[in-house]
Amino acid sequence: METLSTFYPDADALIATPAEELVPMLLNYARSTRQNGLVTRDFAIQFAIDGPSVHSGRTTYTHAQRQKIEALLNEAWAIIEAERLVVPAPGMNGANGFRVFTERGEGISNDLDFQRLREASAFPKSLIHPSIADKVWRALMRGDLDDAVLTSFRAVEEAVRSAGGYTADDVGTALMRKAFDKNSGPLTDKSLPEAEREARAHLFAGAIGSYKNPHSHRTVNLRDVRDAQEQVVLASHLLRIVDARRAS
């Protein structure tokens, strides 16, 4: 199995990675080390860094880099336990540090093969608007793609409603068209040409109609992680437009 150095050949890039971004990878390394259904934090981390030849004496990172990476992976493991993806094994095994996967943890680790891990780990959390970043990024890492997209576009709707001074009865595409009406919308940018103001109203209405409303009314069952990530980035872009209009 490929080690972390395959995905992060630059140790400094790995050290700069937020711990939550490493959760899916560490889950899979833990799954690979499982014996009789049991896993441990220390062995999963060692396997992630060195691979199966943990006693070969081979090392990819310097001692100083390794210490920082181990600290980062310890933080990722803390998230795994906090999210109850693993829980203490029954009896003395649990008291001695052994863990077992929960049903939810099993589902995540089985779904995320290394191709999907590459896609998930390569997606920068910084691309997501700060107001939704933590919740949406974790949903993406869990594979809850529908939830990630719905949360993102619901945030757009709420931001437009708040910035435009509308009530809870103002929703969906109608809200977008009112807020960004080329002539009277409180969020329209009068410095833009008329055609661009109108296009922006279409952009917001189209995004809400295409990506928020379907998730509100039915189960979409998104399967393509890239598709979900791109939709999240679009929602984040719209949120930044609202931020700019609010500040103007």
Q: Is the pLDDT of residue 54 over 70?
A: no
Rounded Cα gap, residues 70 and 5, in angstroms: 13
Looking up tokens 């980062």 gives 72
User: What residue segments make up the domains of the chain, in order of their start?
Assistant: 4-113, 133-247
How high is the pLDDT of residue 160? Answer: 98
* pLDDT: which is higher, 231 or 12: 231
pLDDT-based confidence at 116, cuts 50/70/90? low
The CA–CA distances, whole Å, from 203 to 176, 215, 235 equal 9, 18, 11
pLDDT digits (tens, 9 = 90+) for 149-207: 999 999 999 999 999 999 999 999 999 999 999 999 999 999 999 999 999 999 999 99
* pLDDT at residue 75 tops 80: yes
Residue 52, CB-side half-sphere exposure with 13 Å CA sphere: 6
φ/ψ (deg, to 5) at 88? -55, 140
Q: Does the pLDDT value for residue 119 go beyond 90?
A: no
| Region 4-113: CATH code | 1.10.10
Task: Please name the residues in contact with 196: beta carbons below 8 A apart, sequence gap of 6 or more.
Answer: none
Is the per-residue pLDDT at 111 higher than 70?
A: no
Contact assessment for residue 74 and residue 82, using Cβ atoms and an 8 Å cutoff: no
At a CB cut-off of 8 Å and minimum separation 6, what does 114 contact? 2, 28
pLDDT tier at 17, thresholds 50, 70, 90: confident
Residue 57 has pLDDT above 50, yes or no: no
Question: What's residue 56's pLDDT?
Answer: 45
